[in-house]
Amino acid sequence: MKLDSKKTYLIILMISLVYTFMSFSYYYFHTPYYKDYISDEIWYVDSSRNLLYKMGLQPRSLYPYTATIFLRPEADVDEFLRWIAQNMSSVYVVTTLSKIKAVYIVLKDRSEVSIIAQNPDVKYVREGYIYGDAGDIDTYYNLEHPPLGKYFIMFFIYLFGDNPFIWRLPSYILGFLKVFLLGVFVYKITREPFFGILGSLIQLLDPMNIYMDGLAMLEPYVSFFTILAAISLVIGYETLGGVFIGLAGASKMNGFFIILPALMISSSKRFWRTFINLILIPLIIFLLINIPIIGLFGYKEWWDRSIVGALSWHLSTKTKPGEGPPISAPWDWFLGVNPFYVTVNPDTPIRGNIMIYLGVILLSIILLKFVSKYKEIVDMTILSYGTWLGYVIIWIAGNHSEYSFYMAQISPLFDSLFVLLIYVFYKEYENIINFYINLPRSVISVIKRYLMSQRSS
């Protein structure tokens, strides 16, 4: 059956919906953690909630009403619990946190929040889902990472409420859009419905994508905007690509890794135009995204913590091997070595589809001679490997505590590149076969000519 554009887009859309359901359903149906923080979600969700409160806002209230009550350092937790039992008959204490003086409660009547807040032992009340049990979690803002991903989480819990499904909803949406756009992109490049459909379908075969797009972490955001930047650059919209680079960098600093390969493939004829598109515009976008943070904390604290501190954080080893989560170097990601576990029992190791990654490397070598006539695919190859090279550079610079889930930024690039290289193999099949059949003869001929020249001399 011959597929036209509308049918191709419809199939890609359906695959994208299946992908989104898989991202959601893995944690919902296969793990007991879907109603709790999963892995590093604790840092990003709690810091988002803290930023929301610092802006004078709070999550939308949902019934049953819940809140985390943070007590003053000098307060006696047991005494406060007795006060709750004696004075708040409609308040149920769910648990107390062990690493910070805090109590998580359920209220039948939300108006009682204001009564509790007046207790002299109470520092403040944070409505919504329970905070993670960590020291100083109530004042943690995650300023070592840019704020765009946290803005998404803040926006959703402000509009829809504070619970795990809402935290992860933006990740589901961006994952859906990412798979759809990649399928359309591959279709536009190859002009073949089969390869466009395969371009979206291959994302389902990479568990790195499925697992990470089901979490409220920063990777779904940096991955999405990195993909948009790559697509824009490959199809020739360099200014738009610069905007998306800025948004990727405003999600996580490693979003800027794509700048180097972007400079290599720049289509601008003049240096100043390239500089504006790929350096100045991303920096302006990054600064604009950070303006609310500068307003909240002041320029100096923002500079010290979000720029100088962030660069130091990214270039240093946080945990030594064996003292924290499994560490894997960027080259380990291609082999699934030492994966990061986002859940344990059941285990969820974050490793990609090594058959796809190794397939990309193998095809890149085999097709080196033939891919040059496909400019868009050459550009995608440079962007994929070049973005990954950013992680190699910071490893060499001293950050030896990289984790396998960092690959989430670039795994969709490599997945798409895999399909594009298969397309080149399909188009150049006869030339490839002839070249490699004749290669031994050509090598022998070169050797013979060299030996004859040596004898004659």
At 132-153, the pLDDT tens digits run: 999 999 999 999 999 999 999 9
Query: Hey, what are 404's tokens?
Result: 């396998």
Please report the pLDDT score of residue 343 as a whole number.
92
Give the CA-trace dihedral at 83, 91, 88, 113, to 10 degrees.
90
Closest CA to 84 of 72, 76, 131: 76
The low-confidence residues of the chain, meaning pLDDT below 70, are 1, 321, 446, 450, 454-457
Q: How far apart are CA 214 and CA 41, in angstroms?
A: 11
Q: How far is CA 141 from CA 101, 144, 316, in A?
A: 18, 9, 20
With H, G, I as helix, E, B as strand and everything else as coil, classify residue 223.
helix
Beta-carbon contacts of residue 141 (< 8 Å; ≥ 6 apart):
47, 50, 51, 54, 297
Q: How far apart are CA 128 and CA 157, in angstroms?
A: 9
The per-residue pLDDT for range 6-15, each reduced to its tens digit, is: 999 999 999 9
Query: In degrees, to the nearest 5, what angle opens at C-alpha 92 toward C-alphas 155 and 98?
Result: 75
Instruction: Tally the C-alpha atoms within 13 A of residue 250's C-alpha that lie toward its C-beta.
Output: 25
Q: Give the DSSP H or E segment for 355.
A: helix 354-366
Q: What is the CA radius of gyration of the chain?
A: 26
Query: In degrees, to the nearest 5, what angle opens at C-alpha 334 toward C-alphas 44 and 31?
Result: 45
Sign of the dihedral defined by the CA atoms of residues 319, 325, 326, 331, in that order:
negative
Closest CA to 384 of 419, 335, 432: 419
In this structure, which amino acid lies at residue 212?
M
Please report the pLDDT score of residue 400 as a whole number.
87
Please report the pLDDT score of residue 431 as a whole number.
87
Query: Hey, what are 81's tokens?
Result: 């619990």
Query: In degrees, to the nearest 5, what angle opens at C-alpha 240 toward C-alphas 155 and 168?
Result: 25
Please report the pLDDT score of residue 206 as a whole number.
94
> Which CATH class name applies to 45-155?
alpha beta
Please report the pLDDT score of residue 89 as a whole number.
80
Please report the pLDDT score of residue 1 as a whole number.
56
Instruction: Tally the C-alpha atoms within 13 A of residue 368's C-alpha that lie toward its C-beta.
Output: 5
Q: How far apart are CA 128 and CA 95, in angstroms?
A: 14
The ranges of the chain annotated as CATH 3.30.70.80 are: 45-155
Instruction: Tally the C-alpha atoms within 13 A of residue 228's C-alpha that lie toward its C-beta.
Output: 21
Q: How far apart are CA 201 and CA 182, in angstroms?
A: 10
DSSP 326: P
Q: How far apart are CA 457 and CA 448, in angstroms?
A: 14
Beta-carbon contacts of residue 155 (< 8 Å; ≥ 6 apart):
170
Query: In degrees, to the nearest 5, what angle opens at C-alpha 19 toward C-alphas 14 and 23?
Result: 150
Query: Hey, what are 110's tokens?
Result: 């939300």
With H, G, I as helix, E, B as strand and everything else as coil, classify residue 416.
helix
β partners of residue 68: 104, 126
Tell me the pTM: 0.93
